[in-house]
């Protein structure tokens, strides 16, 4: 039973009805309202923190020379990394013909979109004069100046905006046939009109399906190198600089692996409660959770190898500044953060080697939560420890986040969850048409 990717006894009709009824049911449950309300309060906190930031400037944050990159960059990298699992699940696993991806891909793609939305806020807020963010776009301005295309920060603008756009397209194309299902099954006129407009008149013609499959496959093929490039470019923000601890060639692969690692952890953290609340154990089975746990274990080991090589290279490279940065991470003022990162990201996930852990929903959730915390700590270590003690001891200093740093961070978590709750309420969280293809032939009808 645990090896199935869809529960027994399902037909085309039951799969359709089960998933669409979550959206089409008239009554909004009190639990949803409460959860959305709490998330919405954090969205208000975000607005408050951002408004105060715009009024006062980034002096309200803990950043100062030499640590000019604080929470904003940590959170940017953390959020964008979380997004990567969505694209990985929907694109790479599609190309690899992993059928088990079907019930989690829609949900993971939505997670990607919302995570990228949260990530995209931070670099803009971090600009100091965020109202000039549009200067990053190459347009013929009256000032007669252009962006500097040799800077990784400009690459980042293109990478993240392309990533957001392609993720949105991929998600929307996947939704079109399901929006048609909702249009046809909605009992209210309002629902029929709204879902009808969004479905664009999809009628399931065989010829349309043929082109649709081609487009979907091509999008997957395009998104696969894209997802690798995005976190590579993010890592260039660090690796292209000459700062000890940042200037290493291992950054791109190690960032990409870390992104997938944290993304799968986030999918796990979200899908475990959701499948319980909405009774979707038939569609998101233990096999899905086990497979995700294995991906986490594999990418976690790549990340651990990255830590190991970072340390090895700082010794083997025989550059005194690199050696100092490593020692400073081990025993310097931020050492507790470094060792917490090792515990959360390297040691705790090793329990996933045991099948007993992989088949226990509660322990999986706890491990995934540990990885999410660990990956955030990793970005803290990378950003802060390299900056706070660089080449010139006279400029050394400490970085302490302020209440506004925390408020903005908590606010984006609220924004992420609020968007996610809206998605769960108004759109099918599992791809209905792809689930139909998983219905065993004998059970079809």
Interface with other proteins (CB under 8 A): 11-13, 16-17, 138, 144-150, 152, 154-155, 158-159, 162, 165-166, 169-170, 172-173, 177, 180-181, 183-185, 196-197, 200-215, 218-219, 222-223, 225-226, 229, 233, 236, 433-434, 436-437, 444-445
Indicate the SS3 state at residue 294: helix
| In the complex, minimum distance from the CB of residue 437 to other proteins, in angstroms, rounded to a whole number | 5
Q: Which is nearer to other proteins, 128 or 225 (CB)?
A: 225
| In the complex, minimum distance from the CB of residue 4 to other proteins, in angstroms, rounded to a whole number | 19
Whole-angstrom distance, CA of residue 402 vs CA of residue 353: 39
Contact present, 358 and 352 (Cβ < 8 Å): yes
CB atoms within 10 A of CB 444: 11
Q: Which is nearer to other proteins, 128 or 201 (CB)?
A: 201
Contact present, 264 and 295 (Cβ < 8 Å): yes
Q: Which is nearer to other proteins, 217 or 276 (CB)?
A: 217
Whole-angstrom distance, CA of residue 151 vs CA of residue 143: 20
| In the complex, minimum distance from the CB of residue 356 to other proteins, in angstroms, rounded to a whole number | 37
Q: Which is nearer to other proteins, 60 or 154 (CB)?
A: 154
Q: Which is nearer to other proteins, 362 or 445 (CB)?
A: 445
Q: Which is nearer to other proteins, 5 or 417 (CB)?
A: 5
Whole-angstrom distance, CA of residue 237 vs CA of residue 221: 26
Whole-angstrom distance, CA of residue 321 vs CA of residue 314: 9
Indicate the SS3 state at residue 12: helix
The token pair at 320 is 């005194």
Phi, psi for 149 (deg, rounded to 5) = -75, 0
| In the complex, minimum distance from the CB of residue 5 to other proteins, in angstroms, rounded to a whole number | 16
Q: Which is nearer to other proteins, 222 or 274 (CB)?
A: 222
Indicate the SS3 state at residue 221: helix
| In the complex, minimum distance from the CB of residue 445 to other proteins, in angstroms, rounded to a whole number | 6
Residues paired with 64 in a beta bridge:
67
Q: Where are the beta strands (DSSP E) in 273-339?
A: none
| CB proximity list for 424: less than 8 A, separation 6 or greater | 22, 32, 274, 278
| In the complex, minimum distance from the CB of residue 362 to other proteins, in angstroms, rounded to a whole number | 35
| In the complex, minimum distance from the CB of residue 184 to other proteins, in angstroms, rounded to a whole number | 4
């Amino acid at each position: 039973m645990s090896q199935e990717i869809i529960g027994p006894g399902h037909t085309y009709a039951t799969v359709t009805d089960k998933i669409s009824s979550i959206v089409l049911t008239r009554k909004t449950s009190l639990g949803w309202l409460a959860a959305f309300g709490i998330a919405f309060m954090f969205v208000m906190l975000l607005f408050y923190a951002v408004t105060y930031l715009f009024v006062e400037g980034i002096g309200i944050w803990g950043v100062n020379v030499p640590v000019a990159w604080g929470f904003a960059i940590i959170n940017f990298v953390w959020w964008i990394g979380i997004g990567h699992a969505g694209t990985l699940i929907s694109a790479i696993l599609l190309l690899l013909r992993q059928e088990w991806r079907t019930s989690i891909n829609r949900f993971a793609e939505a997670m990607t979109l919302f995570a990228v939305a949260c990530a995209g806020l931070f670099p803009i807020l971090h600009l100091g004069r965020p109202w000039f963010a549009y200067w990053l776009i190459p347009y013929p301005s009256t000032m007669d100046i252009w962006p500097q295309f040799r800077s990784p920060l400009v690459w980042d603008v293109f990478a993240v905006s392309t990533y957001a756009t392609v993720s949105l397209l991929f998600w929307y194309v996947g939704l079109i046939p399901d929006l048609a299902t909702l249009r046809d099954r909605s009992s209210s006129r309002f629902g029929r009109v709204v879902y009808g407009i969004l479905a664009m008149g999809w009628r399931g013609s065989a010829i349309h399906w043929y082109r649709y499959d081609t487009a979907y496959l091509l999008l997957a093929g395009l998104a696969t190198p894209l997802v690798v490039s995005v976190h590579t470019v993010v890592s260039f923000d660090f690796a292209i600089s000459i700062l000890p601890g940042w200037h290493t060639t291992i950054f791109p692969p190690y960032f990409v692996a870390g992104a997938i690692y944290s993304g799968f952890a986030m999918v796990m953290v979200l899908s475990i409660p959701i499948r319980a609340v909405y009774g979707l154990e038939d569609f998101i089975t233990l096999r899905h959770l086990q497979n995700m746990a294995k991906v986490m274990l594999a990418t976690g080991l790549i990340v651990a190898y990255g830590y190991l090589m970072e340390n090895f290279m700082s010794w083997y490279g025989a550059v005194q500044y690199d050696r100092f940065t490593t020692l400073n991470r081990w025993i310097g003022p931020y050492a507790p953060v470094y060792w917490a990162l090792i515990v959360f990201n390297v040691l705790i996930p090793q329990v996933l080697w045991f099948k007993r852990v992989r088949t226990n929903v509660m322990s999986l959730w706890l491990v995934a939560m540990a990885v999410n915390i660990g990956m955030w700590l990793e970005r803290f270590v990378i950003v802060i420890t390299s900056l706070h003690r660089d080449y010139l001891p006279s400029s050394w200093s400490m970085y302490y986040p302020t209440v506004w740093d925390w408020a903005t961070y908590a606010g984006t978590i609220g924004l992420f969850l609020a968007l996610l709750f809206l998605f769960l309420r108004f759109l099918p969280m599992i791809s209905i048409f792809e689930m139909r293809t998983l219905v065993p032939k004998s059970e079809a009808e």
